[in-house]
Chain A
Amino acid sequence: GENVEQHPSTLSVQEGDSAVIKCTYSDSASNYFPWYKQELGKRPQLIIDIRSNVGEKKDQRIAVTLNKTAKHFSLHITETQPEDSAVYFCAASRGGGADGLTFGKGTHLIIQP
């Protein structure tokens, strides 16, 4: 089955700086890679996703890059703000809507004021 590794487990950055979280996956058949933000005790919220036919996707301060050859993808958050503090999870699946997600272990992002 799929295995998703995520690093770092904790990331502390100064407000206004950039944050980068990296994930690798093992299943070459995976082609859908979402990122979720989860605040304590709440549901995961989709913040951005990317499919294997695209190398990069951007939505305002958030961007995701995908390297299918190396089987890794990364989340980039620029101009970080205090409300960005949360746990971020990467995930992978074979897509198509019928496959569950395999999640990474999560990154606790702390934005220092």
Chain B
Amino acid sequence: GAVVSQHPSRVICKSGTSVKIECRSLDFQATTMFWYRQFPKQSLMLMATSNEGSKATYEQGVEKDKFLINHASLTLSTLTVTSAHPEDSSFYICSATRWYQETQYFGPGTRLLVL
């Protein structure tokens, strides 16, 4: 199998605080991990691409200083939403790929609510 986990599954925080979301590939080494955001009843939008040991590549319109991504190992990537505001409330989903394979395996997602 190819299992991807995320933690936490849901988080509620106050406006202005930072939230860290973890994405782990449990049974394979992920050369690349991706972060997507999904607003209610909308599609998934790619936020950034993360490769182990190098800086993440952000999509146009995504603030890299607000959404900090760290890919410290071949099985772990983290997304930190800094100074969160209510408009950052969304469903954040990560995915991972194996070495040079296109198939993306998605994590279960993290529902963020900023009050």
Q: Which residues of A contact B (CB under 8 A)?
A: 1, 32, 34, 36, 41-46, 49, 51, 89, 93, 95-106
Contact = CB atoms under 8 A, between A and B. Distances in A.
Nearest to B91: A41
B34 A43 contact: no
B46 A102 contact: yes
B32, B104, B105, B107: most-surrounded residue (chain A CB, <10 A): B104
B12 interface: no
B108 A97 contact: no
A100 B106 contact: no
Contacts of A101: 34, 44, 46, 95, 104
Interface in B33-88: 34, 36, 42-46, 49, 51, 59-60
Contacts, number: 64
B44 A97 contact: no
Interface string B77-115: 000000000000000010101111111111111010000
Given A89-B43, A106-B43, A97 B49 contact: no
Given A97-B32, A97-B102, A102-B46, 7 more contacts: A41-B109, A44-B44, A51-B102, A89-B44, A103-B44, A105-B43, A106-B43
Contact of B108 (A43, A49, A103): A43
B100 A34 contact: no
Interface residues of B, number: 29
Per DSSP, chain A at the interface is loop
B5 to A, nearest CB: 10
B113 to A, nearest CB: 14
For the complex of A and B, the 3 pairs showing the least CB-CB separation, nearest first, are: A100-B46, A97-B97, A43-B106
A44 B93 contact: yes
A101 B82 CA distance: 25
B31 interface: yes
A97 B43 contact: no
A95 B102 contact: yes
A31 B26 CA distance: 28
